[in-house]
């Protein structure tokens, strides 16, 4: 009898915990979610003030991001005009990545991987939010959290259910360790005006200047 009561108590507690966890709650049926985006379909190009920290060093200058047909191209130049890198990434499903130029001192595996991961995530195609993905809305209904398996690890992004603007993107690695975290804010109708991408000892901050 006592044993059964214990089981009942545990079950009740578990139910409560599950209910609390989903109080943010699962996507209600019948609500049409917007397609998530970082750069809207109308985005053609943007000029950003850029600061890149690599361990104890930092680089600053301007990054121009331009949509060129099916791809995005990003060029980072210093204030005085020295080119740091020139990369291209496909916005299609293959998401091909090409380094057209990178300054020798930046041509290190960890640095190029950080640049690649950041721009892959920024320009990725999100696709439809499917019910199979795990997703939750917060209490106010202003955020949708989606978690997918991608690149052999979990990938999570948060976005506004009505407007589709993505606010956070996180790529997790082994044991849910955060590999890269991107915060996006101050959106206009084309793109975020502030992008902060962080990896363990590297960071890229972009502040939009003009379009």
Partner 1 sequence: MKKYRLFLLFLLFSSGLIAQQTDSFSPMQDVEALKVEIKKVSENTQSIQSDFIQEKHLSMLEEVIVSRGHFLFRKENDVRWEYSSPINYAIVIYDGKFRIKNDEKISEFDIRSNALFQQINKMIVTAIRGDFVDNPEFEASFFESGKQYRVNLKALNKQVAEMLAGIEIFFSKETLAVERVMFIEPGEDYTNIIFNNRKVNIEITDKQFELTND
99 counts as binding partner 1 under rule CB under 8 A: no
# residues contacting partner 1 (CB under 8 A)? 26
29 counts as binding partner 1 under rule CB under 8 A: no
100 counts as binding partner 1 under rule CB under 8 A: yes
- Closest CB to partner 1 among residues 51, 138: 51
- Closest CB to partner 1 among residues 112, 147: 112
Integer CA distances (angstroms), 206 to 23, 32, 142, in order: 35, 32, 25
47 counts as binding partner 1 under rule CB under 8 A: yes
Q: For 55, left (φ over 0), alpha (ψ -120 to 50), or beta?
A: left
- Least spacing, CB of residue 86 vs partner 1, in Å: 8
Angle, CA of 61, 108 and 90, to the nearest 5°: 70
175 counts as binding partner 1 under rule CB under 8 A: no
State both tokens at 205: 């901050």
State both tokens at 61: 């200058």
What span, in angstroms and rounded, lies between the C-alpha atoms of 194 and 46?
12
- Least spacing, CB of residue 97 vs partner 1, in Å: 16
What span, in angstroms and rounded, lies between the C-alpha atoms of 147 and 136?
9
Q: Which residues bind partner 1 (CB under 8 A)?
A: 45, 47, 49, 51, 60, 62, 64, 66, 68, 73, 75, 77-83, 86, 100-101, 103-105, 209-210
């Amino acid at each position: 009898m006592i044993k059964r009561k214990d089981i009942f108590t545990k079950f009740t507690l578990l139910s409560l915990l599950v209910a609390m966890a989903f109080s943010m709650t699962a996507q209600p049926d019948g609500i049409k979610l917007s397609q998530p985006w970082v750069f809207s379909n109308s985005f053609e190009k943007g000029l950003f003030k850029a600061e890149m920290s690599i361990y104890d060093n930092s680089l600053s200058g301007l990054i121009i991001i331009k949509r060129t047909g099916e791809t995005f191209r990003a060029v980072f130049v210093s204030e005085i005009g020295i080119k740091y890198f020139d990369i291209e990434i496909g916005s299609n499903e293959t998401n091909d990545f090409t380094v057209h130029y990178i300054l020798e001192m930046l041509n290190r595996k960890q640095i190029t991987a950080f640049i690649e991961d950041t721009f892959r995530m920024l320009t990725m195609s999100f696709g439809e939010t499917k019910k199979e993905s795990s997703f939750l809305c917060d209490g106010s209904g202003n955020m949708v959290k989606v978690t997918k398996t991608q690149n052999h690890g979990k990938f999570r992004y948060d976005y506004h259910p009505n407007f589709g603007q993505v606010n956070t993107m996180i790529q997790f690695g082994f044991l849910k360790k955060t590999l890269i975290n991107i915060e996006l804010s101050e959106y206009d109708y084309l793109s975020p005006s502030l992008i902060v991408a962080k990896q363990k000892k590297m960071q890229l901050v972009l502040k939009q200047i003009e379009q």
